[in-house]
Amino acid sequence: MSDSAPKNPGEPDLHPEEGRGVSTTPFSPEGMTVTPVAPAAEEAPTLRCNRCNKPITPAEAILTPTGYRCRDCVNAQQKVFDTTKGFDLPLGFLISLGISIIGSRLTPYIGFFTIFLASGLGLLIFTLVNKWIKHRRNRKLRWVLAAGALIGSLPALVVLALPSFSFMLRTGNPASLTSVIWPLIYTLLITSSVFAQAK
Ligand SMILES: [Zn+2]
């Protein structure tokens, strides 16, 4: 359509590709002004994707460790990194959830050693899941595992925290809150440990 339209003498001669920004649609709602967009100097395709060699503008170029690439190539590359199969992520979530639940029951008995337990279980979750899903990778894996560990640790935390809170409210004595410290540290540590392992 833009080929048949008379050219504005003030307009720069547009390459058909660059002219896509100019809207000549007759369906614009009443009162809506359509401003032709002339490509600014810095939007000209001055770069080339170093994978497919397509000309790209600096705005759409993505700087990767190996150079500038177009959006399509970056997307295609990222899919290669996600090699997990159907049940890998749910399975990872369940393993993380189960181990986290078991560990969370121990914190009232071990006190200070919760620090070692939570970090160790984070490593155990990562190792077991990796073995189970045969080291297939997924960028979402660390989030899924961290979510499993976090959710698994919450019931014990709530069970311990609620009586302490009600005791504090009844007596005004905050000393009972110390029993919540280790479950709370467990929640924070096992979640961050799993997240840090599974990068
Ligand atoms: Zn490309």
Chain segment 39-80, per-residue pLDDT in tens: 555 567 788 998 899 999 988 898 888 889 999 988 887 777
| Residue 91: per-residue pLDDT | 96
Determine the distance separating the centroid of ligand 1 and the alpha carbon of 57, expressed in angstroms: 12
pLDDT of 14-47, one tens digit each? 444 444 444 444 554 555 555 555 555 556 778 8
For the whole model, what pTM was predicted? 0.63
- Is 118:194 a contact under the CB 8 Å cutoff? no
CA quadruple 113, 118, 122, 128: dihedral, nearest 10: 70
Determine the distance separating the centroid of ligand 1 and the alpha carbon of 101, expressed in angstroms: 46
pLDDT of 150-190, one tens digit each? 999 999 999 988 888 888 888 888 777 777 899 999 999 99
Phi-psi region of 134 (alpha: psi -120 to 50; beta: other; left: phi over 0): left
User: What angle do helix axes 114-132 and 141-171 make, rounded to 10 degrees?
Assistant: 150
Determine the distance separating the centroid of ligand 1 and the alpha carbon of 177, expressed in angstroms: 57
User: Which band of pLDDT confidence, cut at 50, 70 and 90, is reported for residue 5?
Assistant: very low
Local structure of 167: helix, strand or coil: helix
Encoded tokens for 172: 């005004």
| Residue 7: per-residue pLDDT | 45
User: Which band of pLDDT confidence, cut at 50, 70 and 90, is reported for residue 115?
Assistant: very high
Determine the distance separating the centroid of ligand 1 and the alpha carbon of 16, expressed in angstroms: 20
The 3-state secondary structure of 18-78, one letter per residue: HHHHCCCCCCCCCCCCCCCCCCCHHHCCCEECCCCCCEECCCCCEEECCEEECHHHHHHHH
| Residue 9: per-residue pLDDT | 47
Determine the distance separating the centroid of ligand 1 and the alpha carbon of 66, expressed in angstroms: 12
| Residue 107: per-residue pLDDT | 92
Bridge-based pairing of strands 67-69 and 47-48 is: unpaired
Determine the distance separating the centroid of ligand 1 and the alpha carbon of 47, expressed in angstroms: 11
